[in-house]
Amino acid sequence: MNYVSTRNNKINVTAATAIASGISAEGGLFVPETIPSLTENDFAELKNMSYVERAAYILKYYLTDFTNDEIEYCVKGAYCGSFDNDQPAPITKLGQNINILELWHGPTCAFKDLALQLLPYLLTTSAKKVNQGKQTVILVATSGDTGKAALEGFKDVENTKIIVFYPCDGVSPMQKLQMDTQKGNNVFVCSIKGNFDDAQTGVKQIFTNNVIKETLEKSNMNFSSANSINWGRLVPQIIYYISAYCDLLKNGENLENGFNVVVPTGNFGNILAAYYAKQMGVPINKLICASNSNNVLTDFINSGTYDRNRKFFTTISPSMDILISSNLERMLYELCENDSETVAKLQNDLAKTGKFTVDENVHNKFKNIFYGGFCSEQETLDAIKNTFEKYGYLIDTHTAVAVSVYNKYLAESGDNKPVVIASTASPYKFANDVLSAIENNVSGNEFEKLEILSNKTNTDIPLPIKNLKNAQVRFQNISEKEDMPKVVLEFLGI
């Protein structure tokens, strides 16, 4: 299985090259040449496996240049010992039809851990194959959760260095504290004056800046990405959708007519992984793309025009405050039937004018596969409150966006097939807003609120969050977005 660039499908590389480089030189994203499909027999086998076994089974289809031993080493390193009860993606059932896929049992309490615990293994294994001896420098732009998850995944990993940029006013206090207290000898954290899109654009510019690239090469280093533009971030996410299907089968759910999947969406990585799972044979019916007030994807799915020229909102679901959803490019490639010229043109339009429009045929395909919806801040809070009152189950602000949009979909369509809702963060990561949803006028600092939330809802504070209280702050850097290249070179000492 090889990988091609979304902007030039003549560029054809191995999985190791795709993962080691992160992004294709001309700016395109790597996608599998063909999406493998699983048979009934595969699912019958997968059904009785543990998560780690399922992961290895699925990765073998995508990483054909890795040996079986390498794959085993990667998945065991990633998923044994770092998730609660060694269950990275358990399902909790609410009522008859709703299955919450809890993706926040890892070291940083958000779904990014599922990919970012595995990525360092995939990346160092890939780097050994394709650029022997070179040090890999990981650059990350984060709206909060990726940064911390990447730092945890890469801290003290041999032959790597990692630099994380986050928008100074765009992350929650807990997210900020999680990053600023990061341990490890190869890590650097810096906030920038700007929003997430500024951070992401800045990182992309550094990646494609030839002068900086040459400077790194002279020092025997090269860049890679831990953002979901890296294929190594996406492939681990396909696993949990397949695993969720296997668990539903195991639970004896009636899946005769398939099931729906709801994903609170920002960069379009998570929902794209669900699409790949669907293409591989998981009987997913509708993919419900849930947005907050930054509803650029809702408008795109409804109109066929993607237009980022709009007001940017800072919301209580900050990991979804994004106006440029990078992974939509991979979806466009799929729905334009591998026509990389068209994709390149659309991305060029986006870079030049901030918008693009797909043709009617492609738009219709989008509408068939996806439902796009969004909810307001108040609706997000209502979803937390209602879910808690109805089921005694606490959800975070991002999951709440998914629940709220699912309810709109249900009301509009009457489609009450079983549903899997991706729950992307622990409510304790956003305790302030979660608590305000279920109780008026609570005062206290962040950590007092954790205790109040825990007592009130009879749930435990995850240890990685509880322990932040006494963690030492190591990073307090603020930079102008224009200075990002300087920050990188200074940290690297070159």
Ligand X SMILES: *Cc1c(COP(=O)(O)O)cnc(C)c1O
What does the DSSP assignment read for 96-123?
TTEEEEE---STTSBTHHHHHTTHHHHH
Query: DSSP alpha helices (H): ranges in 34-172?
Result: 40-47, 51-62, 68-79, 112-116, 119-130, 145-154
Q: Which two tokens stand for residue 392?
A: 């005694």
Q: Does 269 bind ligand X (CB under 6 A)?
A: yes
Residue 480 CB, nearest approach to ligand X (Å): 25
Q: Which two tokens stand for residue 272?
A: 């794209």
- Kindly write out the interface string for residues 95-134 of this chain, putting x where it contacts ligand X by CB under 6 A and - elsewhere: ---------------x-x----------------------
Amino acid at position 182, single letter: Q
Residue 230 CB, nearest approach to ligand X (Å): 12
Residue 429 CB, nearest approach to ligand X (Å): 7
Instruction: Give the range of 79-87, 121-129, 267-275, 301-309 binding ligand X by CB under 6 A.
Output: 267-275
Interface residue with ligand X, options 266, 418, 427, 464 (CB under 6 A): 266
HSE-CB at 228 with a 13 A cutoff on CA atoms is 30
Q: Which is nearer to ligand X, 125 or 397 (CB)?
A: 397
Sign of CA dihedral 405, 406, 408, 413: positive
Q: Does 293 bind ligand X (CB under 6 A)?
A: no
Interface residue with ligand X, options 125, 126, 195, 265 (CB under 6 A): 265
| C-alpha–C-alpha distance, residues 364 and 304, integer Å | 8
| C-alpha–C-alpha distance, residues 329 and 346, integer Å | 9
Q: Which is nearer to ligand X, 6 or 265 (CB)?
A: 265
Residue 131 CB, nearest approach to ligand X (Å): 27
Helices 68-79 and 119-130 pack at an angle, to 10 degrees, of 150
Q: Which is nearer to ligand X, 181 or 228 (CB)?
A: 228
Q: Does 320 bind ligand X (CB under 6 A)?
A: yes
Q: Which two tokens stand for residue 41?
A: 């027999």
- Kindly write out the interface string for residues 226-245 of this chain, putting x where it contacts ligand X by CB under 6 A and - elsewhere: --x-----------------
Interface residue with ligand X, options 9, 340, 424, 432 (CB under 6 A): 424
Q: Which two tokens stand for residue 32?
A: 């599998």
Q: Does 425 bind ligand X (CB under 6 A)?
A: yes
State the residues that interact with ligand X by CB under 6 A: 110, 112, 145, 228, 264-270, 319-320, 398, 424-425
